[in-house]
Structure 1
Amino acid sequence: MKSITFLMHNIYALGGTVKAVTELANSLSNKGHHVEIISIFRAADRPYFELDKKIIVKTLIDYRLKPQNIGSIVMNRLNRYTPFFKPTHLSQYEPGLNQFSSYIERKVIKAIKHVNTDVFVGTRASFNILIAQYHNSNVTTVGMEHMNLDAYPKTYQYEIIKAYNQLDAITTLTSIDQQKYQQCITTPIYTVPNIINVQRLHITKENRIISAGRLEYEKGFDILIESIHRIQNTIRQAHFKVELYGDGQEREKLQQLINNYKLADIITLHPATQHLNEKLAQSKITVVPSRNEGFGMVILEAMAQDNVVISFKDTVGPSSLITTGVNGYLADYQDVNSLAKYIDIAINHINHSDNMIKEGHLTVEQYSSDKVYEEFISSIS
């Protein structure tokens, strides 16, 4: 069986990519593959999601406050005070560029050159670009995409396309994105969606609307709050509450929006939780208001927990998972009134949503561990 290495930003932190790669790595390990994960950063004692004990995790920069880590921490922080320590090979479009220094960049490139498993998988565009440049020639290289192509700036797209032509395979989360890449590059492209591997919890449902994710602009929580503002009387009369779970730069701005609209009695903002499935199991409706969503794990997790799910048209992930009126609802893209309308519809039809929930279960079954494993193996065969 083929051995596989994943290059990750931080396997110890919460994130959709972290969860997706963890599930795939566990599936591969359970099937008998030797799996290694290179985590560039580490600031916790354990990976955020549970990893199979046979999986080997190698860390390049350990931020835990221990004497042996002081040198690495200091070296990386120098890039904040002098341009001489800025990275020069990492793409300038890397979203977490300010976390990198030339010191870390050298460590990453060295690690890439020394990977000797059969397959080497990058898990974000900037890492895939480095792998294309510096990989061992005996290794099969895979660029795993967790973003859709149109979400990148045009100049970044050119950089990505040039590098991806030097890789052995590309995987996308949806067939829609697969087709877009096929128009640009000659490298074989495969659709390998995320694994949904959750147990349905039998918990008493309450009148709750849930939304969860990073509190960043692209996740659209401001749109959700605006839409709740439009139908606040309906929410109150139906005795529903809205709960938002996540951490990020927009927290204060979102809380201020809630306060300004005097919605604190029906909308509460909570930190990110490792018990999201329990929260979903207790709720009836889940809203994913993202401006951009490459896949939408929360959508599948919500369907698995018998939620009616609402998201936006023209976002690649949700549009690939939801058919309006069948297994959920798709509102017009970024349209506050349209989103409010579908939340209103969901609330008023919540006692007649059994067929929609059953269709959601059928959707979830398409993303089982065994099915996604076979699709990934096909991409590296």
Structure 2
Amino acid sequence: MRRGRQAVARAAVGLLELANRRRARRAAPRDTKTVRILLLHVNGMGGTIRTVLNLALYLAREREVEIVSLVRVVEEPFFEMPPGVRITFLDDRTAPRGRIAEFLSRRPSRLVPKEEKAYLSNTLLTDLRLVRYLRSLRGGVVIGTRPGFNLALGLFAPPEVITIGQEHVTLESHGPELQAAIKRRYGRLDAFATLTEADLKDYGKTLRANPPKRLLRIPNAIPELAGDVSSLEEKVVVGIGRIVWAKGFDRMVNAWKTVAAAHPGWVLRIYGGGLPEREERLQKRIEDAGLTGSVFLMGSTPEIGVELSKASVYAVSSRYEGFGMTILEAMSKGVPVVSFDCPHGPREIITDGHDGLLIRSKKAGALAAGIGRLIEDEELRRTLGANALDTARLYGLDIVGGQWAALLSDLDESRDFPGCSLGTTS
């Protein structure tokens, strides 16, 4: 059975190679006038969505930009869509579908590795529609925003399309089978961009034998947020993120027991959503700790800048971060950050003692001590907050967008079609 599938896969790769050679002979020179960005669910909430919308807004100044959302599971977007940017859905799950589409949607994906965090959002239907979409393109740039998309680009993008992979989490957070697929297929990409220097180093080692044409680091840019710069006078500490294990809100609640005992009147507000059972578990932890009137699960909000402007400290309890976008958002409101020194992003953004505090220990008590230090020392809080504003300016949209523009310009000058050997699909 396995040998049969491998034989079919090899035959399919052979047909793709033949088709690509024919297309390369007939195609016009590659260009970057049109940019398409692949996203899992543009109408959802989360840091990747927010930063992709931000990038699309910048690129639309001089290019035609389309965001291609693999699925649509809610009708209305959580964030405001950027003007001048086209939105396309490959699998609209809010609308009725035919029997064949329903049948395919109940079959598991064969294109996306099971270790990909979005595996369960993919189906055989999304596989077929994504491949059909990619093969329909006749030029321009396609940017993938997660491993499943990047792997598909490396295999199915036509030769006249410029392919760029992007990553929003760390390489080490992927399982071994997914990392092996990345090692095999990312060399087909024209460029691959990480968010941090640490992850760039990890990818450089992994892809040493089969690198993409360009391997570089481009951080996320800070989106324009509503709300004023914080006065740092409110007795409020804020945490932001999905209610998942990686964000470590269990550790934050444990830390807050110490903070609340030493500083009555201060409150912790946690912004972000998650599966109902995870929210219930976190709420129970809060109640069991006797913190019902001190820790509040605020849910998700599209106006996080307004809520940050009411905070005096921003706390990060994550076990790992792909980058740490919310750290920059807090800094853009002049709010000093206390963060565990987790892999990979915080230490590349925060300069300890200058614009925030990095907590080297992984213990909740150490995070509590850092929060307590900023609560007790108003002068330090204000100094770090002022420096945080300067740090945030380095990640402005014009600066980071300029790095993307430079990459596209560089790729535009190198218009030769890539070789058509697709390599193994195993």
Mark yes or no: TM-score above 0.5: yes
- Equivalent residue number for residue 356 of structure 1: 384
Q: Which residue of 2 aligns with 1:247?
A: 273
Aligned-residue identity in percent: 26
Matches within 5 A, 1:204-283: 205-236=233-264, 239-249=265-275, 250-283=278-311
After TM superposition, the structure 1 = structure 2 runs for residues 281-360 of structure 1, keeping only pairs within 5 Å, are 281-360=309-388
RMSD across aligned positions (CA):
1.9
Write out the 4+ residue segments of structure 1 that deviate beyond 3 Å after TM superposition. 44-47, 68-77, 202-205
| Counterpart code for 1:191 | R
Contact 1:223 1:334 in 2 (8 A): no
Letter in 2 for 1:23: N
Residue by residue, what CA displacement relative to the aligned partner does 1:233-284 show, whole Å, maximum 9, x if unpaired? 1131xx2100111111321111010011111111011211112111100110
CA contact under 8 A between 1:61 and 1:72: conserved in structure 2? no
Within 5 A, what are the aligned runs for 1:1-381? 2-30=33-61, 32-64=62-94, 66=95, 68-69=96-97, 74-75=102-103, 79=106, 85-185=107-207, 186-187=211-212, 188-199=214-225, 201-202=228-229, 205-236=233-264, 239-249=265-275, 250-380=278-408, 381=410
Distance in 2 of aligned mates of 1:225 and 1:173: 29
Aligned partner of residue 12 in structure 1, secondary structure = coil
SS at match of 1:147: coil
Count of residue pairs the alignment pairs up: 370
How far apart, in 2, do the equivalents of 1:24 and 1:192 lie?
A: 11
Alpha-carbon offset, residue 365 of structure 1: 0.9
Counterpart Cα distance in 1 of 2:221 and 2:93: 30
In the alignment, is the contact (CA less than 8 A) between 2:230 and 2:334 conserved in 1? no
Specify whether residues 253 and 216 from structure 1 end up closer, same or farther in structure 2 by C-alpha distance, changes over 3 A only: same
Separation in 2 of the partners of 1:147 and 1:202?
29
* Normalised TM-score (structure 1): 0.92
Per-residue CA deviations over 1:21-58 (Å, capped at 9, x if unaligned) read: 1000000002x111011101113344332233321111
Structure 1, unmatched stretches of 5+, are 80-84
Question: For residues 342 and 262 of structure 1, what CA distance do their matches in structure 2 show?
Answer: 22
- Output the amino acid matched with 1:47: P
Q: What is the Cα deviation at residue 115 of structure 1?
A: 2.8
Taking the aligned partners of 2:384 and 2:259, their CA distance within structure 1 comes to 23
Kept after mapping to 2: 8 A contact 1:122/1:142: yes
Shift of the alpha carbon at 1:303?
0.8
Q: Which has the higher contact order (CA 8 A, sep 6+)?
A: 2
User: Which residue identity lines up with residue 397 of structure 2 in the other structure?
Assistant: S
Report the residue type matching 1:101 in the other structure: T
Question: Where does structure 2 lack aligned partners over 5 or more consecutive residues?
Answer: 1-31, 411-426
Return the letter of the residue paired with 1:373: G
DSSP 3-state at the match of 2:280: helix
Structure 1 CA distance for aligned equivalents of residues 229 and 161 of structure 2: 45
State which structure, 1 or 2, has the greater radius of gyration over its C-alpha atoms: 2
Deviations 1:81-136 (A, max 9, x none): xxxx2211211112122222212211111112223342111000111011111101
Does the 8 Å contact 1:191/1:375 carry over to 2? no
> Which residue of the partner structure matches residue 82 of structure 1?
none
TM-score, normalisation: structure 2: 0.83
> Which amino acid letter does the alignment assign opposite residue 114 of structure 2?
Q
CA contact (8 A) 1:7 1:37 kept: yes
Greater Cα offset, 9-18 or 117-126: 117-126
